[in-house]
């Protein structure tokens, strides 16, 4: 059992390591592809050498980032087979479909047109090149779409049913999976946050040029484009974040409770603005949830449902199956203890079905199938021994969520302020060193915000790899903890090296180009 726990922990750590590194590159690819597309559109209309070179400058940075992002993404997909083979067997027919579409459609679209972007300047017409740039941006977003559809299905499994003959889930409706509220919200929220990150990157690098008083006109023009994209991105991200909270409240109430450190919910539930969790707090104990907190009345009820008087369940409420009706009555549904028992009953029914199938006993198969169908929605709970096993890591989820919100608030103020100043009072942006340093400092902040969003999404749904159907402990491959530790170490070294290489190449390129007149360079 200790070895199994070690394998699970190291497999999770390896996947988290790969995903975190991969997510360093993905949002910048999404954001820069759009910004470069806008810049080339301006060049296409104005036909000036200045805008051509501005476009090429940012396009090169996009290319550096894109190449390393692809490398980490390929490793991430392979890990489903190497580390999570039970998961791949259990839902491979479903999970593999969007990944296959991503590879066949989106990735090949990116690979095809990115070649035209970088090597087709003098080989194709301006119009065809512009189309290739926008098709690369579209391919980047489509690639994200299918990956996020797969991830959203893990968070909210719909459009599928269980096939006891093959002991795996099968897809019933591809479009139910693609168009689920979780998938749509996750896609648009991620794309808009990518626009935000790309915009902050461009504004920050341009501010460094202003700080060094190099290529000032290029920097100002770049900030104008990026600030517009950034304002659209951050406003849309904020709105979609509100929608996301409502989707999570409806489909993953335990995650929402962990995000807020909420153990005992109520009607007209307040939301924590600032808080410090009590260390060691566990579901059902008598410790106060917070050492210190400042809360906003009605906030969580509004965020979760739009109704300031609505009941929002806490961790203890969800475990007990407790809710409060609109009339104020307390009612109980299936508790976690009952779900565990029904999950174990589903496991036994599946074993009985398999034994009856081998014995060609159709009557016993039909009876077992009825029992499976009756309890299968709690199938995943059958792997747990106690209700607390189904509770995520509250401190990590809580602090990641609030860090994301705080930084997101700053980015909203910052990008809106930069957009106003660059169009109304550009001299302030050009000369104010405090603003320029704030822009540079916002580059690591926006990445921290983006990574925190993924931590909330993934840690907040633990211990599930598929919500309610399969915990991570049942999804791993038959491998040794030592083997996973070795590959974890190798990946940590390689990915850190790739990250250092990307940053180094980017900084050298920016530094070299800042010493020349980019705007008036010959083609």
Do 203 and 98 lie in a common domain?
Answer: yes
Shared domain for 306 and 346, answered yes or no, is no
212 and 291: one domain? no
Residues 52 and 196 reside in one and the same domain:
yes
Residue 28 lies in a domain: yes
| Alpha carbons 107 and 492: distance in angstroms, whole number | 25
Within a domain: residue 46?
A: yes
By DSSP bridging, strand 160-163 and strand 330-332 are: unpaired
Which ranges in 252-335 belong to alpha helices (H)?
Answer: 253-260, 299-305, 315-320
Mean pLDDT, rounded, for 121-148: 89
Domain-located, residue 268:
yes
Q: Write down the pLDDT at residue 144.
A: 86
Token output for 492: 């940590």
Let me know whether 86 and 159 are in one domain: yes
Look up residue 297 and give its two tokens: 């009345």
Tokens of 77: 């997909």
Same domain, 423 and 465: yes
The DSSP symbol for 382 reads: G
Mean pLDDT for 170-184 is 89
β-strands 464-466, 470-471: how paired?
Answer: antiparallel
Helix count and strand count (H, E) for the chain:
17, 10
- Give the bridge partners for 47, in sequence order: none
What tens digit of pLDDT does each residue of 423-448 get?
999 888 888 899 999 999 999 999 99
Q: Please state, for a pLDDT cut of 70, what percent of the chain lies above it.
A: 97
Same domain, 343 and 419: no
In a domain, 519, yes or no: no
Size (the chain), residues: 523
> Does residue 521 lie in a domain region?
no
Q: Is 41 exposed, middle or buried (0-12, 13-18, 19+ CB in 10 A)?
A: middle
Residue 522 placed within a domain: no
1: pLDDT strictly greater than 60: no
pTM of the complete model: 0.91
* Secondary structure class of 165 (helix, strand, coil): coil
> In this structure, are residues 136 and 114 in contact, taking their beta carbons and an 8 Å threshold?
yes
What is the model's pLDDT at position 351?
92
Regarding whether 166 and 68 lie in a shared domain, the answer is yes
Domain that holds residue 270: 256-332
Contact 289, 281 (CB under 8 A): yes
Q: Are residues 145 and 17 in the same domain?
A: yes
Is residue 390 within 8 A of residue 336, CB to CB? The reply is: yes
Q: With CA atoms as reference, report the closest residue to 73 among 513, 503, 495, 522.
A: 495
Domain end (from 289, 311, 332): 332
pLDDT at res. 50: 85
Contact predicate 419/428, CB 8 Å: no
Residues 247 and 285 both lie in one domain: no
Structural domain total, the chain? 3
Percent of the chain with pLDDT over 90: 41
H, E, C per residue of 169-198:
EEECCHHHHHCCHHHHHHHHHHHHHHHHHH
Tell whether 232 and 296 lie within a shared domain: no
Rounded to the nearest 5 degrees, what angle is found at the Cα of 250, between the Cα atoms of 322 and 191?
Answer: 150
* Per-residue pLDDT tens over the stretch 22-49: 888 889 999 999 999 999 999 999 888 8
Predicted local distance difference test score (pLDDT) of residue 3: 61
In a domain, 9, yes or no: yes
d(CA 51, CA 225): 12
Secondary structure class of 392 (helix, strand, coil) = coil
Instruction: For residue 451, tell me if it sits in a domain.
Output: yes
**pLDDT tens digits for range 159-175:** 888 888 888 888 888 89
- Closest Cα to residue 258, out of 151, 96, 425, 401? 401
Residue corresponding to tokens 């020349």: 516
- Using CA atoms, how far residue 105 sits from 99, 146, 294, in Å, is 10, 10, 48
Of 320, 352, 387, the residue that ends a domain is 387
Residues 6+ apart with CB under 8 A from 226: 35, 198, 199, 200, 201, 202, 203, 206
Q: Are residues 145 and 235 in the same domain?
A: yes
DSSP letter (8 states) at residue 278: P
Which of 366, 387, 408 lies at the terminal end of a domain, its last residue? Answer: 387
């Amino acid at each position: 059992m200790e070895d199994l726990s070690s394998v699970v922990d190291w497999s999770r750590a390896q996947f988290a390591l790969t995903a975190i590194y991969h997510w360093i590159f993905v949002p910048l690819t999404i954001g820069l592809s759009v910004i470069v597309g806008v810049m080339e559109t301006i060049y296409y209309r104005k036909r000036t050498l200045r805008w051509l070179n501005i476009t090429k400058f940012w396009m090169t940075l996009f290319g550096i980032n894109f190449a390393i992002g692809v490398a980490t993404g390929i490793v991430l997909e392979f890990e489903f087979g190497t580390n999570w083979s039970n998961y791949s067997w259990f839902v491979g027919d479903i999970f593999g479909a969007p990944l296959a579409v991503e590879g066949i459609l989106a990735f090949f679209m990116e690979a095809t047109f990115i070649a035209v972007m970088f090597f087709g300047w003098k080989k194709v017409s301006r119009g065809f090149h512009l189309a290739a740039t926008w098709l690369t941006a579209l391919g980047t977003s489509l690639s994200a779409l299918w990956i996020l559809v797969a991830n959203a299905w893990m968070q909210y499994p719909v459009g599928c049913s269980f096939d006891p003959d093959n002991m795996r889930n099968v897809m019933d409706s591809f479009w139910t999976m693609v168009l689920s509220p979780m998938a749509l919200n996750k896609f648009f929220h991620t794309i808009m946050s990518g626009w935000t990150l790309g915009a902050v990157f461009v504004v920050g690098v341009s501010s460094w040029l202003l700080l060094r008083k190099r290529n000032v006109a290029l920097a100002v023009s770049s900030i104008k484009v990026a600030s517009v994209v950034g304002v659209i991105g951050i406003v849309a991200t904020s709105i979609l974040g509100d929608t996301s909270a409502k989707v999570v409240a409806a489909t993953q109430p335990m995650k929402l409770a962990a995000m807020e450190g909420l153990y005992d919910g109520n009607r007209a539930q307040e939301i924590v603005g600032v808080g410090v969790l009590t260390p060691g707090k566990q579901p059902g104990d008598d410790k106060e949830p917070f050492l210190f907190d400042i809360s906003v009345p009605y906030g969580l009820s509004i965020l979760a449902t739009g109704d300031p008087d609505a009941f929002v369940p806490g961790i203890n409420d969800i475990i007990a199956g407790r809710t409060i009706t609109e009339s104020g009555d307390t009612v109980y549904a299936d508790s976690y203890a009952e779900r565990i028992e029904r999950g174990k009953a589903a496991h036994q029914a599946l074993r009985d079905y398999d034994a009856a199938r081998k014995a060609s006993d159709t009557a016993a198969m039909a009876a077992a199938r009825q029992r499976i169908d009756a309890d299968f929605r709690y199938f995943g709970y059958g792997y747990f021994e106690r209700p607390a096993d189904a509770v995520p890591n509250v401190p990590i989820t809580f602090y990641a969520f609030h860090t994301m919100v705080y930084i997101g608030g700053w980015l909203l103020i910052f990008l809106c302020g930069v957009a106003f100043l660059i169009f109304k009072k550009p001299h302030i942006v050009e000369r104010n060193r405090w603003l320029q340093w704030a822009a540079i400092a916002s580059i690591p902040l926006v990445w921290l915000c983006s990574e925190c969003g993924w931590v909330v999404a993934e840690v907040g749904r633990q211990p599930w790899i598929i919500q309610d159907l399969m915990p991570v402990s049942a999804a791993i491959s038959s491998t040794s903890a030592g083997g996973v530790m070795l590959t974890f170490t190798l990946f940590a070294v390689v990915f850190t090296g790739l990250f250092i290489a990307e940053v180094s190449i980017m900084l050298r390129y920016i530094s070299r180009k800042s010493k020349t007149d980019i705007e008036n360079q010959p083609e």
